[in-house]
Amino acid sequence: MTLKQKSQMLALLALSAVSSIAAAIEEGDKAPNIDLPSIYADHPAITTASLEGKTVYVDFWASWCAPCLTSLPLYNDMYNKYKDQGLEIVAINVDNPIEDGLDFLSDTPLDFLIPADPDGEAAELFEVIGMPTSYLIEPDGTVKLVHVGFRQGDIVSIEEAIQASLAGN
Partner 1 sequence: MRQLRMSFLLLLCVTLLASCTEVRAWERGYLAREEMAWDPDVLESALNDHIFFSKEASSGGNSAAGGGCGCN
Task: Enumerate binding residues for partner 1 (CB under 8 A).
Answer: 3-4, 6-7, 10-11, 14-15, 17-18, 21, 60, 62-68, 94-96, 100, 117, 120, 123-124, 128-133, 148-150
Residue closer to partner 1, measured from CB, 94 or 113: 94
In the complex, the smallest distance separating the C-beta of residue 167 from partner 1, rounded to whole angstroms, is 30
In the complex, the smallest distance separating the C-beta of residue 142 from partner 1, rounded to whole angstroms, is 23
> For every residue of 72-129, which 3-state class applies, written as one string?
HHHHHHHHHHHHHHCEEEEEEECCCCCHHHHHHHHHCCCCCECEECCCCHHHHHHCCC
Residue closer to partner 1, measured from CB, 4 or 106: 4
Residue closer to partner 1, measured from CB, 148 or 164: 148
In the complex, the smallest distance separating the C-beta of residue 30 from partner 1, rounded to whole angstroms, is 21
Residue closer to partner 1, measured from CB, 10 or 45: 10
Contact 92, 65 (CB under 8 A): no
Angle 19-146-115 (CA atoms, 0-180°, nearest 5)?
A: 85
In the complex, the smallest distance separating the C-beta of residue 135 from partner 1, rounded to whole angstroms, is 14
CB-based contacts of 107: which residues, under 8 Å, 6+ apart? none
Asked whether the CA dihedral 84, 102, 104, 151 is positive or negative, the reply is negative
